[in-house]
Structure formats: C-alpha cells, structure tokens
Structure 1
Amino acid sequence: MAAKDYYATLGLSRTATEDEIKKAFRKLARKYHPDVNPGDKAAEAKFKEINEAHEVLSDKDKRSKYDKYGENWQHAEAFEKAGAGSRQYGGGGTPFEGFDFQQSGGSFGGAYAGEDVGDLFDQILRGGRRRPHRGQDADYEIEISLEEAYHGTNRMLTMQGAKPEKLEVKIPAGVTNGSRIRLAGKGGEGSGGGPRGDLYLVVKVSPNGRFERKDDDLFTTVDVPLTVAVLGGEVTVPTIKGTRLALKIPAETQNGKTFKLGGQGMPHLGKTGNGDLIVRMNVTLPTKLNDKEKELFNELAKIRPAGQAAS
C-alpha cells in the first residue's frame, strides 16, 4: 500500500506557505466536492484525501510531526520514546521500512490483515486495542446575498457518507464575510469508534450593487435634483429590507453631503439592534433646458457671477 504524500495530494512542494496550502485546498475542494460530483465515488474518495491532507498541513504542530514521521505522524510521541525520532521520513517513508509484511501465501495474516500500517502499530502499542481517532474537520464555502445576510436564510446541504444525509442549515441574520458556522459531528468519519469531526460553513457575502457594507453600517448614494438641493425638500432612500424612506434635506445641501439613518443598517450578529445607513447626496444638474429655464439661469448668472462668494 503506497504511503500517503499530503503535499502531492494538494499539488504542493514541501516549502509551501500557509496561504498556498489554503488556496490549493479550496481550489481542489470545489472541484471534487460531492455536491459538484453527485454519485462519483472517485471524486468522493479524492475529496476525502484532500480534506485529510489539508487537516494535517494547515496545522503547524501536525505538519511538523508529518514532516518528521510521514503518514504515521500521530504516533510521534511513541516513536520518540522508542528512539525513532532520529530519522526523518519526509512524508513518503514509514517507521516500518525494512520489515517484510508479506508472506509467501499473500498478505500479512491474522487479525491484522488489510489494516493500515499506522493502525497496526497503534494496536501493538495498546495491546491489540485499536485507538479511536476523531474524524477530520472540514470547511465548506457557502455564498449568500447581502439581503440574505440581512434577513437570515436557510440552505439545504447533502452530506455524503455511507448514508447520504440532507441537512437544512440556518444562517443567522448579520453574518459577514468569513463568518464560520459550526455543524458539530457533520465532518469526516472517525475511525476505531472515534467521533465524527465538525463541518464549518464559511460564509461569503456577494457584493451588492446598491449598498456597500462596512462592519454593520451600510452606505448608499441617492440622486438629488438641483432644485431640491438648493431649496431643500425630500428625497427617497431605498433600504436593504426593501422599503423606501423619505429623507428631508435642508436648503443648500452640497454635493457629497451625507446623512445618517440610524438603525437602518445590518443586524448585529448575535446581538440586538442594527448598524446605520449612511446616505450620500449626488446632486444632478438639469439637462435639455427649455428657453424659459435658460432665461432663469442667465438671470441667476447676472445676480451671482461665477466665482462670487455667497453674501
């Protein structure tokens, strides 16, 4: 049975940075995820290999042990106590190199036939009892709209395994880019009677054409006719919840002026209350003037020549 090379699984060199490991994992996970390849057992197996490699290489302590002891990194303490720590296995070797586990009649027989070498060694150390291992944690990116982040939403996921499981996940109001939602016991299968790992949904909030988000505040721009900006009046402001509000602005409102509508922003995640909506004024000039309008602007130009300070 070929030794596992986690670096090769992710297509990386042994000098890969944490960022390179993360990028490689995300790229491969999207390609081989069971939701993208329903019913494809090869893709499902590849996805498990990718998860396993990422779970080890993304953890500094586990990676250090793996670089030293290869796929049997979990037995590092036992190896060091036994004096095996003087040798590095580089991800491709094994502390059992040099031992012949094959007999003339086939594979190593008895109760250990077909066992992984690491599991076999673990059983020897523990008097034949197989050590339980917790399953691997896994990340899964899920994209939602800004409106869904405001209201909260649900997603239906299909969990792959011996028995595929459909799971409805609630995404709370106020989530931000990078929010992680933990689904306990929904990750990789454990071994030796160990529990399953956890699944973490990593939220990605897609950009919105109307609103820009900064923390829990929202920013938007509304057009204001020149006459309203000069004389004062009302402008209509859209909100993320889908309603529209009337905002009174004073006379002589300048282009770029901002007004705050309290509590009209995003919900505070896990708390009460909302952020604010910041509204920027974009004063628009009239076009296609008729003769009367041109005459009035000419009169204004005579009263207030260009460059003249306000009296």
Structure 2
Amino acid sequence: MSATEIDFYELLGVSRDADGSSIKSAYRKMAMKYHPDRNPGDAEAEAQFKACSAAYEVLKDPQKRAAYDRYGHAAFQQGGGGAGPGGMGGADFSDLGDIFETIFGSAFGSGGGGRQRPRRGADLRYDMQVTLEEAFHGKDAEITVEVASQCDPCGGSGAEPGTGKRRCELCGGHGKVRAQQGLFVIERPCPTCSGRGEVLEQPCSSCRGEGRVDKEQVYEVDIPPGVDNGTRIRLSGKGEAGPMGAPPGDLYIFVHVKPHTVFEREGTALFTRVPVSFTTAALGHTIEIPGLDGETHAIDIPAGIQSGKQLRKRGAGMPVLQGRGRGDLVVEVQVETPTRLSSRQKELLREFRETETGEECPESRGFLDKLKEAFGG
C-alpha cells in the first residue's frame, strides 16, 4: 500500500460528507494535539502535524476537495502545480510521501527503491509451573523448547554452501514492483524475492532456503526468589531464528505458581487459617506455624480472641522480587465449636453455664439488649 492510498478524511477523523465547519474544527483539534510547540523534539508528532495540515489544505478548498473526492491522491500526482483536474492552484504535495513514511513506516513510503529489511524471528512463550516453595526460594530450572533455529550447514543464509545470492531479475534489486490499477499505481513487495532484492543461487538442501530448521533447544532458566503468577522472564535472542540470517526473537518464560495446601498468597503476604478450640480462644495460647523458610514462627493468641481475627507476623512472608526484605505472615483465627464431648466435659460446661452472668460475652449481651429495646422487652 502506498502513501497515495492514505485517506485525508480518516487523517482528520471526519466523515466524507462533513461540512467545512466540521473539517475546520477537526483540523484545529489535531493541530493543537500535534503542534511542534506542544511536542518539542517529537519528530513523529511534527510529521503528523504536517500531514494533517496537508489534508486540511485540500479539504478546505471546494475545488481541491471535489478533485480529491473524484480522483483521490492521483489528482495531485498528475498535476499538483495546477495542471491537474479541478486546478490545484499553488499547493505543493511533493513531500506527502516523506510525511506518511515518517508516520506509518517505510511500507507507506513513496519511494520505489527501498528493500525490505529481513524481519527478526518471532518471540516465543513458555509456561512454567513452580511450587510456592520454589517461588519462595527461587530455583535453577532447565527447559526444552522446540524452536526454529539457525541452519548449521548454511549458517542461516539459506544458500547451499559454496553458493551465494544474486540480484532479483524481476524487481532489478529494488525489492518492490509496481502495477497500474486504473488511476492508481500500486506498489508491493516483489513476489520473487519477497522484498529483499536478492534471490539465492541455490537453496540450502538442509533448510530449503529458509536459513532455519526446527530443533530442540535446552535452556537454563534462573527463577528468582519472590516470583508470582504472571512473572515474565525474558531470554534475549532465544526465540525463533529470523529467516535468511535475520536476528532471532526472544523467549519469554511465564511463571505460574501452583496452589498450596496451607498458604494463600497475596503479593508478598502469606495467609493461612488456623482453627483453635474455644478454650484456647478464651484463655489464650501460643501456637507454632512452620514457614516456607524452614523456620517455626510463634504466634501469640490473646485471651478472648474472636473468630475471624487476623494476627500478623512481620517479615515471615514471601521475599520481595528483585528487592530486599519479606512480606508478612497473616494468621486468621477460626474458633472451632467442639462437636464431640464426653459426659464429664458436658457436665463441666453445664456448671460453667450456671455461673455465667452475661458479662463474659459482651457482644451477645449487647445483642440481647438491642432485641429488648426493639421489641419492648
């Protein structure tokens, strides 16, 4: 696709039936957005500003707009200095190709001699599962990936050893060919050389001219302490080899942490729920929780603790990824009501109930008081 196919209406963001006022308003908005004074040193913004100005120069003039609506950019190619249909006056559009090339890349440029650069190889993704313990300590892992790698016999060139490349006869080494379609001249990459301007004298018999073959590659991966779900590790240059000797892409390792039977993770914090008997909750106690670090962490349960209360142990959670320190260990207490009592235990509980005054459980007492107040005793 060439620069002549870029639509002026799309550039300003207006419909083809927009009136002059709408076009002027749209241009002012775009000009304010991309004006060089507002984007100092931004070459792309400056080019966009020039392109919008060129589009407005055409669409604001009824004669020029009519010619553009009828002939498109071909009107300017055939007489930009005033000889074209509708009379273009003194408007100069000779630099439109450069403007569009700056904004949209060389594929939209107006020049016919630029070869396409070999594209780098594709990036690859590898999903790795680790345990929470491995995420805590980190690990050195070894992975095997089937990847398009550089062909050894031809060194990635795609040419049979002892042979080379020659200029493409179809495009004359330019990498592009042109075809007339009505009023438009369409420029496309050369179908013979795929835009490279060169063809192989004899394709490599091992890779059939691709310069790469599928191989199993083994890579060492350093999993740092503190990784979490979605952590991405980049192995530069370990993706697919580029065609015809082009640079390789990258390999991205996406880490997935398996669920743990005891701990749940939120950032650098570790959560766990600990059931305690109602006597422990009433009298208080110290419990011990084994941590992922191999240490045993003492958690003091205060007397009278309620179910759902969270206790925090500073610095006993997950390591900070690529940083210092650790998060916290958070213990949520769940008071468990006994379901299997001996006759003696039931007897003791009945004796205890007979001694209750209501002050032992202030929340229950308060709720009863609210009921009395709401329903008149």
What is aligned with 1:178? 230
Secondary structure of the corresponding residue to residue 125 of structure 2: strand
What is aligned with 1:218? 270
Mapped contact 1:228–1:234 kept (Cα < 8 A): no
Kindly indicate whether residue 258 of structure 2 is the aligned counterpart of residue 200 of structure 1: no
What is aligned with 2:198? none
- Aligned partners of 1:189, 1:77: CA distance in 2, in Å? 24
Superposition deviation, residue 290 in structure 1: 2.1
Kindly indicate whether residue 218 of structure 2 is the aligned counterpart of residue 232 of structure 1: no
Superposition deviation, residue 223 in structure 1: 1.7
What is aligned with 2:304? 252
Kindly tell me: are residues 306 and 136 of structure 1, through their superposed partners in 2, closer, same or farther at Cα, counting changes over 3 Å? same
- For 2:338, the aligned partner's letter is P
- Aligned partners of 2:361, 2:283: CA distance in 1, in Å? 18
Superposition deviation, residue 221 in structure 1: 0.8
Aligned with 1:285 (options 316, 324, 337): 337
Kindly tell me: are residues 138 and 294 of structure 1, through their superposed partners in 2, closer, same or farther at Cα, counting changes over 3 Å? same
What is aligned with 1:81? 109
What is aligned with 2:20? none
Give the structure-2-normalised TM-score: 0.47
- For 2:342, the aligned partner's letter is N
Larger relative contact order (CA 8 Å, sep ≥ 6): 2
Secondary structure of the corresponding residue to residue 245 of structure 2: coil
What is aligned with 1:149? 135
Secondary structure of the corresponding residue to residue 270 of structure 1: coil
Give the structure-1-normalised TM-score: 0.56
- Aligned partners of 2:263, 2:106: CA distance in 1, in Å? 57
- Aligned partners of 2:263, 2:233: CA distance in 1, in Å? 24
- Aligned partners of 1:155, 1:193: CA distance in 2, in Å? 29
Kindly tell me: are residues 274 and 300 of structure 1, through their superposed partners in 2, closer, same or farther at Cα, counting changes over 3 Å? same
- For 2:261, the aligned partner's letter is G
- Aligned partners of 2:124, 2:117: CA distance in 1, in Å? 22
Per-residue CA shift, 1:176-218, capped at 9, x if unaligned? 1111100011001023432111111011112222111111101
Secondary structure of the corresponding residue to residue 208 of structure 1: coil
- Aligned partners of 2:282, 2:361: CA distance in 1, in Å? 16
Aligned with 1:137 (options 114, 123, 130): 123
Which structure 2 segments of 5+ residues have no match? 1-103, 150-212, 366-377
- Aligned partners of 2:143, 2:256: CA distance in 1, in Å? 16
Kindly indicate whether residue 329 of structure 2 is the aligned counterpart of residue 301 of structure 1: no
Per-residue CA shift, 1:247-282, capped at 9, x if unaligned? 222211211111101111110000011000100111
Kindly tell me: are residues 78 and 259 of structure 1, through their superposed partners in 2, closer, same or farther at Cα, counting changes over 3 Å? closer
- Aligned partners of 1:279, 1:208: CA distance in 2, in Å? 15
Secondary structure of the corresponding residue to residue 233 of structure 2: strand
Which structure 1 segments of 5+ residues have no match? 1-75, 84-120
Superposition deviation, residue 235 in structure 1: 1.7
- For 1:145, the aligned partner's letter is T
Mapped contact 1:224–1:235 kept (Cα < 8 A): no
Alignment length (residue pairs): 194
Kindly tell me: are residues 246 and 171 of structure 1, through their superposed partners in 2, closer, same or farther at Cα, counting changes over 3 Å? same
- Aligned partners of 1:234, 1:303: CA distance in 2, in Å? 27
Superposition deviation, residue 242 in structure 1: 4.2
- Aligned partners of 2:144, 2:357: CA distance in 1, in Å? 70
Superposition deviation, residue 140 in structure 1: 1.6
> Alignment RMSD, CA only?
2.6
Kindly tell me: are residues 266 and 79 of structure 1, through their superposed partners in 2, closer, same or farther at Cα, counting changes over 3 Å? closer
